[in-house]
Structure 1
């Protein structure tokens, strides 16, 4: 393995939890074209692992990510794009947590936003410099910012390129929580454990429905059909038994 290969994102599987880590701390986890290809591969691995119930995405060093390398724009015809990577992340069946170990910039802001939950560290900030670089952002990312954070916040970020500090990120809903850096691993583990203990068919079905509702592509008939299927599952029967017996449920994903 070359040093460059060693800096590609890594995947660790621990029981029902998967963790993907960005590993270019010297460059603030800047995303290079090979990273995008590797992230797509790792997402496929997560999607194809039936026993996984939660994915954590995080980084190494002082920043979560500096975004896509501006000098690599236009390289590699047919190569993976950041938009494709972010869309693949959002479509994953398992719930996802972005543990932002530091500040986030550029395209990496959308990578984090595609996760279901975002935990950050006190003192971090977000900067979207597209307008300062003469860059027009891709459409699905702009849809995501408007649907998740609202039009006014999206305009502040994209048109003014205005940085948001930790308080601002909490106020607009970009961050669900901010904790001291030393507490981030434990808080992430606690949230991941809570997601993993819930019925996976219900969690995954409702995740898909909520994302579809947020972006205006929801079909009530399809949501209703999934809900009906879950109501016939072994997990729902186990949930009812556990409730009646006043004990924790033991879900199997069936």
Structure 2
């Protein structure tokens, strides 16, 4: 029996201090995402959202690839399945949107290639650190598929219209250097440096004032979607001004030491 296939599971959640890690775990099929994985991802995202101790989430994959995207066999078997979010069952779009809207900052640890719908999962994260051997492509047009709305919005708002058109309309595969150039990758590193760089960024994010980080993240995502709630942003700004964390930050600045934020 193939050992990798025997070890395949739905995504795994681990928590260490203020950091949560979700790992896609079907390495024999390049971490293909199946219907059961959508359910489990939704559960994991909800658990992260509900845990006030968590300040950063890392999303990654087992093996040589980040993810080969959604299971095409399921799409073939269910041609009438909803392509967009629905209230009574998870959809790929719904789970992706849930990831984008998480209160905590998120890092996608791109340990290898990323394809199809999983390119959007990575775009849902706030940062994407990838190995210099990574590659990506969006095969929707080659498969005859019109993509779901929020995924196209993310592509255009994060990468720009020209890059989105190239990736969607040509289904052309691009390499890590171009992924970095168009803004898909936040950083590109050799494989040997991937964990250290992800750890450093996760530690830095976890050390920031959580109320400020989470509030600003929400506001920036609203702006990107052209859904900016100005009154909500003002309320979050006022709450940060009245927070214990701001007082701690100011004291630490005066005392020339690292602040210790409590999230209140």
**Same fold (TM > 0.5):** yes
Per the alignment, residue 242 of structure 1 pairs with 252
What are the superposed Cα offsets for residues 185-232 of structure 1, whole Å, 9 maximum, x if unpaired? 111000000000000000000000000011100022211111011110
Q: Cα distance 1:229–1:4, how it changes in 2: closer, same or farther (>3 A)? A: farther
State the 4+ residue runs in structure 1 displaced beyond 2 angstroms: 3-6, 74-79
Shift in Å, 1:4: 7.6
Equivalent-residue separation in structure 2 for 1:109 and 1:247 (angstroms): 40
1:182 corresponds, among 182, 192, 196, to 192
Q: Cα distance 1:30–1:6, how it changes in 2: closer, same or farther (>3 A)? A: closer
1:22 corresponds, among 21, 24, 34, to 24
2:220 corresponds, among 210, 220, 223, to 210
Check conservation: 2:56, 2:106, Cα contact below 8 A.
Answer: yes
SS at match of 2:129: strand
2:38 corresponds, among 24, 36, 44, to 36
Equivalent-residue separation in structure 2 for 1:64 and 1:89 (angstroms): 16
Over the residues paired in the alignment, what is the CA RMSD in angstroms? 1.5
1:251 corresponds, among 229, 252, 261, to 261
Structure 1: runs of 5 or more not aligned: none
Structure 2: runs of 5 or more not aligned: 83-87
Equivalent-residue separation in structure 1 for 2:195 and 2:256 (angstroms): 31
SS at match of 2:170: coil
Aligned residue pair count: 252
Equivalent-residue separation in structure 2 for 1:222 and 1:4 (angstroms): 48
Check conservation: 1:55, 1:95, Cα contact below 8 A.
Answer: yes
Equivalent-residue separation in structure 2 for 1:150 and 1:177 (angstroms): 18
Shift in Å, 1:79: 3.6
